[in-house]
Chain A
Amino acid sequence: MEEGFSRKEQLAGGFLLVLIIFTVVTLLVIAQAKGWFQTQNTYRIKFRQGYNLHQGSLVKMFNAEIGKVALLSITQTTERPQVEVIIKVNQEYANLVRQDSVAEVVSPTLIGSEYVDISPGTSGYPRIEPHGDIPSRERKSVTEHLSELASEENILKVKQMLEHLAKFSEDLKNDEKILQSALKHVDEVFVSLAEGKGTLGMLVMQKDLYNRMNQAIDHMDKFLVEAKTVMVDLRPTALNLGVFTKSINQEIEPLKAIVANIKAGSEELPDFMEAATGTARSAKDTMDAIKANPLIRMTAPTGAKSQTIHVAPRTLP
């Protein structure tokens, strides 16, 4: 008996092998693209309700996908049942999930489905370990928004605003009447002006004023011409003034010198005064010494002595 595979069998086997290899490569490429081989961290978030989340809902940060919802379940451990959402976040973003991160369910406005948005944590806070809880913030429902909007305070404000609007429109109506009457008056005034009535009308409509103004301008022109002539005449005087100023400056120079001398003299005055005081003091000391001589003291006239003043008023009637 002949052992081994026939040629046909070898061909079929080779074809199958190639097929398997192709399938495996294709699977690997798809898995790579899908991120099946990426390592992910698991976290838990608790909400009061599920907000239409489902398995596979996106988990985003900075509006970029960082993971997916892995599992949703309702827990009844505390006094109030809660929805527990298990998410998986790619490990490369795990360092952004920190104690101050907050998870919130975001609803798109028109198209799309709800996703979990996680705010990035700051570096000052520690990381949340895998399988740890991310703090959550409940999403407000439309009715809650409406109830907030329709609060008593807001209603009151709107009411006041409407009242003010009504008053404003009322005032506008009144102002319109006043404006109309004012415009009517202005119209009448213009009619009067056009007819040359009143002082202003006469001024505006009569040619007399125009003629007078023309005359005045003529006079002004003549005056300016004369002024120019006078200015020409004044020029030599101004030149003389310059010479005069120069001579004054020349006269001031000796005065300055005199003042400087006086200043220098005044600087010496304290020394002079000091010397004079010293001389006077030494002269006094000499006189005191002479007076101290018993022979002179005996013959010298007795000087006045200070006394305690007696204020004896001689009162007038």
Chain B
Amino acid sequence: MWRRAPFPSCWARLGLVALLVGGCAAKQDPFGQQVQRIDEVSIAGEELFSRGEMKRASRNFSRALTMSRSVDYLPGAAQQLNNLGAVALEEGDYPKARDYFTQAYNLNQERQQFVAASVNQANLATVAVKQGQAAAASQHLVAAQDAAQQSRSPQSLGRVYLQWAGFYLDQNDPAAAQDFLTRAQPLATTPELKGTLFHHRGRLALAQGDTGQALEMFTQALTIDRSVLDRAAMAADLFYLGEVSQTRGDLSPAWDNYVRAFDVYAGMGKKAQLQKCLKRLQEVNRQGRMGHSLERFEKLANPNPSPSPS
């Protein structure tokens, strides 16, 4: 005797039909597929960039740039040019970074992509700051602000205001920094911007001598930056937490925070920041007479120390 096979229920049959109809509704989109591939390559590059693997990130961005150009995908080309500039900036090749950012800005400006154009100008401002050209940096920030206003994107404007705040904090102008942080407050809606906002508030509080407020702000910034895995931001938060603790005379937490900052920077291969962390560790170790061994930190910060003169 044959048993009757179980037949799908009415709802299941309806679902299958819907899926089939939906499948028929899907259109073939070769250009869209290519753009998606470019996106995938670029995302992989961004991941490598955030890990500090600049060589591999540069390879990915270059590949994505070639792919974008080959299918005449101009927004992709502009994006990859900007990202290649970011790699050059991290590697300390400022003229190359400036060149890439300018190329990206020109492309975005032509196509009226103001959000991206604002980012390009903000990056150019960072290049100028790194080269010690404060006047040029402020000009680029003005251009970034204009582009952000044209884009009518609150996040874009908030990003520029936060960069202004950072710029004035570097210039030891707390009043101007306070002004821009107030303006940025309602615009900082994304986790990245919130983390930056808290970080700069912490710096402002530290500059004003309010270590309690600074500690709270940096802790909040660290929590947010960790949630989005912004390693560079996390390391900076930890470093400032160490500084706040050191200022307050809490040398043990200061040591711990500096060690954590050191390890994150070591993972990213940032030599200059490692040196700064090592210096602070030596200070805290000496001040607190902790007697910690600094060998591990010295080895990582100075992988090839020059032979000491006999």
Contact = CB atoms under 8 A, between A and B. Distances in A.
Contact of B89 (A293, A306, A311): A311
A294 B159 contact: no
A309 B122 CA distance: 10
B170 A310 contact: no
Interface string A202-226: 0000000000000000000000000
A315 B276 CA distance: 11
Interface in A281-313: 288-289, 292-296, 304-313
A305 B75 CA distance: 13
B10 interface: no
B243 A310 contact: no
Interface in B142-193: 159, 162-163, 166, 170
Contact of A306 (B27, B39, B104, B126): B39
B83 A312 contact: no
B117 to A, nearest CB: 9
Interface string B96-137: 000000001000000000011001101100100110000000
B79 interface: yes
Contact of B43 (A289, A295, A306): A306
A316 interface: yes
A314 interface: yes
B86 A311 contact: yes
Task: Give the interface residue-count category, chain B.
Answer: 35 or more
A309 B49 contact: yes
A123 to B, nearest CB: 77
A254 interface: no
B26 A315 contact: no
B19 A310 contact: no
Contacts of A292: 26-27, 29
Given A312-B166, A314-B233, A307 B46 contact: yes
Given A306-B46, A316-B236, A311 B90 contact: yes
A316 B206 CA distance: 13
A307 B76 CA distance: 9
A317 interface: yes
A295 B82 contact: no
Contact of B122 (A294, A312, A316): A312
Contacts of B38: 306
Interface string B2-32: 0000000000000000110011011101000
B196 interface: yes
Contacts of A289: 23, 26
B159 A316 contact: no
B22 A293 contact: yes
Nearest to A311: B86
A308 B119 CA distance: 7
Contacts of A311: 86, 89-90, 123, 126
B239 interface: yes
A54 to B, nearest CB: 102
Nearest to B26: A292
B39 A305 contact: yes
Given A307-B46, A314-B166, A295 B22 contact: yes
Contacts of A308: 78-79, 82-83, 104, 115-116, 119-120
B197 to A, nearest CB: 12
Contacts of B196: 312, 314
B273 interface: yes
A316 B270 CA distance: 12
Interface string B189-232: 00000001001000000000000000000000000000000001
Contacts of B36: 288
Contact of B159 (A305, A310, A317): A310
A272 to B, nearest CB: 24
Given A311-B89, A316-B239, A306 B33 contact: no
B62 interface: no
A303 to B, nearest CB: 8
B126 A293 contact: no
A306 B26 contact: no
Interface in B229-260: 232-233, 236-237, 239, 243
B58 interface: no
B295 to A, nearest CB: 23
- Between A292, A304, A310, A313, the greatest number of chain B beta carbons within 10 A of the residue's beta carbon is seen for A310
B46 A312 contact: no
Contacts of A317: 243
A304 B228 CA distance: 12
A306 B42 contact: yes
Contacts of B233: 314
28 contacts: A288-B33, A288-B36, A292-B27, A293-B23, A294-B22, A304-B43, A306-B39, A306-B43, A306-B79, A307-B46, A308-B83, A308-B104, A309-B46, A309-B83, A309-B119, A310-B159, A311-B90, A311-B123, A312-B162, A314-B166, A314-B196, A314-B236, A315-B166, A315-B170, A315-B236, A316-B236, A316-B239, A316-B273
Nearest 9 Cβ contacts at the A-B interface: A314-B236, A306-B42, A292-B26, A295-B22, A309-B86, A293-B22, A306-B39, A308-B119, A311-B86
Interface of A: 288-289, 292-296, 304-317
Interface of B: 18-19, 22-23, 25-27, 29, 33, 36, 38-39, 42-43, 46, 49, 64, 78-79, 82-83, 86, 89-90, 104, 115-116, 119-120, 122-123, 126, 129-130, 159, 162-163, 166, 170, 196, 199, 232-233, 236-237, 239, 243, 273, 276
